[in-house]
């Protein structure tokens, strides 16, 4: 019996059945690969969303810090101008 011939229940399988089994194996492999790709894509999307949220929070905090800094500068300018006016 040649190496390539598959045997099932003591009977040789035909070429079509062998091809179908090979195709089924390929489909199973592709399905497994697809599941892995979907899992990685889900993780990537979660990471991108988390990163976007963190960037947004950083912008808000930076704007808040800038506002506080500007308010302090304005208050200091007011203090300086008021002390000049009183002299």
What pLDDT, in 10s, does the model give residues 25-76? Answer: 999 999 999 999 999 999 999 999 998 888 888 888 888 877 777 777 777 7
Give how many domains the chain has, as a whole number.
1
Confidence of residue 1 (pLDDT cuts 50, 70, 90): very low
- The distance between the two most distant Cα atoms of the chain, rounded to a whole number of Å, is 114
Structure confidence at residue 8 (pLDDT):
64
Which three-class secondary structure state does DSSP give residue 23? helix
Q: Is residue 5 included in any domain, yes or no?
A: no
Whether pLDDT at 14 is above 90: no
What average pLDDT is seen over the chain? 79
* Contact partners, residue 13, CB within 8 Å, separation at least 6: 5, 6, 7, 21
Q: Is residue 4 included in any domain, yes or no?
A: no
In which domain, by residue range, is 21 found?
13-86
């Amino acid at each position: 019996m040649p190496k390539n011939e598959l045997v099932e229940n003591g009977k040789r399988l035909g070429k079509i059945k062998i091809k179908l089994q090979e195709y089924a194996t390929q489909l199973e492999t592709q399905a497994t690969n697809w599941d892995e790709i979907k899992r990685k894509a889900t993780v990537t999307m979660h990471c991108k969303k988390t990163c976007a949220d963190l960037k947004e929070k950083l912008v808000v905090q930076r704007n808040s810090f800038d506002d506080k800094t500007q308010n302090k500068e304005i208050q200091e300018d007011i203090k300086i101008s008021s002390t000049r006016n009183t002299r």
